[in-house]
Structure 1
Amino acid sequence: MSEFEAWPHLFEAGDGPVLLALHGTGGNERDILPLARAIDPMAAVLAPRGQVIEGGALRWFRRLSEGVFDVDDVVTRAGDLAEFIGWAVGHYGLEGRRIVAVGFSNGANVGLATAALHPQVLPEAIAFSGMYPFAGRPLTTSLEGSRMLLANGTADPMAPSASVARLAAELSAQGAEVTRHERAGGHGIDSGDVDAAREWLAVLPAR
């Protein structure tokens, strides 16, 4: 058994795009499935489990304190996730399929980090309540052809508006097509966010 086959995950087949479903802190690969299904019931869903444990809660990468990420670990874990995606493409016969990250909170952040650093593996991402995951480091990877949807509450203390604005600016500067969906309120996902994700996903990427 390979290290990636041993990585706890779920895969559900479907004829639509492949949604890489990434749970938030304290969640797991099962918790995120309803969100993926709400966005596209016809999608295939690949849902891995975060490999970091903090206070008994599953996460995707380490943090130094609330809102302060271990950026070196972010980069490492994003690379691990990119390798997992590559393994899953071959293992589940997904060659040539459209793969889109769908993440909430910590899952959104690792999805954004993976898409920003490994766009050849993950060129599209839907980030619910995500923020800029690289602290003071700028992006340098070309993201021409990448697409990102950022869905955030304007009063979210865990993903502050300034960090989201930095995220959008950095992604756009490297050539990504960035769509922002803002709503009143804080950390979470509402029906308007899901509707925005459905509409965004219905637009096929230019290739």
Structure 2
Amino acid sequence: MFTYDIYEPIGRKEGETFPVIYALHGFGGDELDVPGILEIMMDRYVVVALRGKVEYGPSYGFYHMATEGEPDAKEIHEVSKQVLQFIADINKEYDTIQTTNTFLIGFDQGAIVTLDLMLRYGGEISGAALLSSRFLSYTEKLPKNLLLQNKPFFVGHGTEDMVVPIEEAERLTRFLRTLSTNVEFHSFFTAHSLKEAEEDELEAWLDKLVQTQVQKK
């Protein structure tokens, strides 16, 4: 089980349920990082913010950083399995959660774990946002998941990112478009960080997906 914070809409009515966003922070962060750009949505979404288990001083990561080259794909996969089980457990535990509207938002390391989870088990998730993510070569070697054909993806990246160049996000977007017909790429005038500029576009993307689900019912 991960340490986590959960934010449920204030003033909700008894029996009311809401879409849920699982938020995964980046290297050197914690569970308080990503919710900052989701605050404007907390009146109509449940937000669950996870804390990675790897300690880096006073902060955390989801997996160990590599001294050179790419991080260990097996470790990332193990973490993504743990996140998937965590999602299943939390979705059962809280009766405010609409399990049919389960979204992931990951930043940096959190985005890499999110991508691994989606590539392997994405049929169980409604959509994913990958923010300031590296593109790891092992992902191209995984079996193609046919359940991702129409799966919504939001790729967001800062044009001034000196930690992970925006070219990695462009490569990630091209890769995802070989798997899904529903991939959006968004660039922001920012560095390797989460900024308010992403709020509006993430909010519009999520609201559109939830509304589409409602119309299908």
TM range, smaller chain: 0.7 to 0.9
Distance 1:67 1:162, change over 3 A: farther
The 3-state SS of whatever aligns with 1:145 is coil
- Name the counterpart of 2:5: 10
Q: Does 1:119 align with 2:122?
A: yes
CA contact (8 A) 1:40 1:198 kept: no
Give unpaired runs (5+ residues) of structure 2: 10-16
Task: State which of 171, 175, 178 in structure 2 corresponds to 1:166.
Answer: 171
Runs of 4+ in 1 over 4 A off after TM superposition: none
The structural deviation recorded for 1:118 is: 1.4
Counterparts of residues 25-64 of structure 1 (less than 5 Å): 25-54=27-56, 57-64=59-66
Once the two structures are superposed, the pairs formed by residues 69-80 of structure 1 within 5 Å of their partners are 69-80=71-82
- Residue identity opposite 1:74 in structure 2: I
Q: For 1:98, which of 98, 101, 106 is the aligned residue?
A: 101
Alpha-carbon distance in structure 2 between the residues aligned to 1:25 and 1:151: 17
Question: One-letter code of the match for 1:141?
Answer: N
Query: Which residue of structure 2 lines up, in the alignment, with residue 86 of structure 1?
Result: 88
Match of 1:131 in 2: 134
From the superposition, tell whether residues 12 and 54 of structure 1 become closer, same or farther in structure 2 (CA, over 3 Å): same
Structure 1 residue 95 displacement after superposition = 5.4
In 1, Cα distance between the equivalents of 2:7 and 2:173?
31
Conservation of the 8 A alpha-carbon contact between 1:21 and 1:36:
no
RMSD: 2.3
Count of residue correspondences? 201
Q: Which has the higher helix share?
A: 2
CA distance in 1, matches of 2:107, 2:72: 19
User: Deviation at 1:41?
Assistant: 3.3
Cα distance in 2 between the residues matched to 1:199 and 1:137: 28
Matched, 1:149 2:154: yes
Counterpart of 1:113, as a letter, is D
- In the alignment, structure 1 segments of 5+ residues that lack a partner are none
Q: Separation in 1 of the partners of 2:201 and 2:28?
A: 25
What TM-score, normalized by structure 1, do the two folds share? 0.84
Task: Say whether the 8 Å CA contact 2:106–2:112 is kept in structure 1.
Answer: yes
TM-score (norm 2): 0.81
* Percent identity over paired residues: 23
Q: Relative to 1, partners in 2 of residues 1:66 and 1:191: Cα closer, same or farther, differing over 3 Å?
A: farther
SS at match of 1:68: coil
Residue in 1 aligned with 2:24? 22
Task: State the shift of 1:67 in Å.
Answer: 6.9
TM-superposed deviation, 1:56: 5.2
